[in-house]
């Protein structure tokens, strides 16, 4: 559990870095009206406490040839812990899987997979997913259009008093 209690300056830092992780310390300090040294210290604390997991560059999937997003509902034949762990271990090794969630409800897992085209998706099914033992049902839905995609977490719920 984090020891550091977030305040308004921390929240401003997190919001700024979510929008642009490439900001230099000087730019960040200027943006949030703080001198560079305390700004750098705060960022270091936020990293050490795990508020900032990593800094990344977001790529345009269309520009890199991964324009097909597939949402896959997977149902296992038994929800035993060993089956869940086996499935999760396999999924963690597949580069096409961008997200995977253990779910409640009618299916066990929801995955988002990106591929260049339907032929590659068929190969993904044939080579990776379908041969995996313990799967009872696979249901695929293809995204027609991205209506909203964001990576910035909302921070307005954090009480900074």
CATH fold of the domain at 68-142: Alpha-Beta Plaits (3.30.70)
pTM strictly above 0.85: yes
CA pair distance 107, 144, nearest whole angstrom: 22
Residue 130's pLDDT is what? Answer: 96
pLDDT band at 126 (very low <50, low <70, confident <90, very high): very high
Between 2.30.30.100, 1.10.3720.10, 2.30.29.30, 1.10.10.10, what CATH number should domain 8-48 receive? 1.10.10.10
Sequence-ordered list of residues with C-beta below 8 angstroms from that of 16, at least 6 positions apart, any chain: 23, 28, 31, 32
* H/E segment holding residue 28: helix 25-31
Give the count of beta carbons closer than 10 Å to the beta carbon of residue 67.
Answer: 15
Q: What is the mean pLDDT of residues 53-73?
A: 96
Q: What is the mean pLDDT of residues 103-116?
A: 97
User: Where exactly are the structural domains of the chain?
Assistant: 8-48, 68-142
Residue 66's pLDDT is what? Answer: 97
| Residue 85 in this model has a pLDDT that exceeds 90 | yes
Structure-block tokens of residue 2: 């984090």
Residue 161's pLDDT is what? Answer: 63
Residue 146's pLDDT is what? Answer: 93
CA pair distance 111, 90, nearest whole angstrom: 13
Phi, psi at residue 33, to the nearest 5°?
Answer: 60, 55
Residue 157's pLDDT is what? Answer: 85
């Amino acid at each position: 559990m984090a020891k550091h209690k977030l305040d308004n300056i921390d929240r401003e830092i997190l919001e700024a870095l979510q929008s642009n992780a490439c900001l230099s310390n000087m730019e960040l300090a200027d943006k949030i009206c703080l001198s560079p040294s305390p700004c750098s210290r705060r960022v270091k604390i936020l990293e050490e406490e795990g508020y900032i997991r990593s800094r990344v560059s977001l790529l345009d999937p269309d520009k890199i040839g991964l324009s097909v997003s597939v949402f896959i509902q997977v149902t296992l034949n038994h929800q035993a812990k060993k089956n869940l762990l086996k499935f999760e271990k396999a999924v963690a090794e597949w580069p096409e899987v961008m997200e995977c969630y253990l779910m409640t409800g009618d299916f066990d897992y929801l995955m988002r997979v990106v591929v260049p085209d339907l032929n590659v998706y068929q190969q993904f099914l044939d080579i990776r997913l379908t041969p995996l033992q313990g799967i009872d049902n696979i249901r695929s839905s293809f995204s027609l259009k991205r209506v909203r995609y964001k990576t910035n977490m909302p921070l307005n719920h954090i009480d900074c008093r």
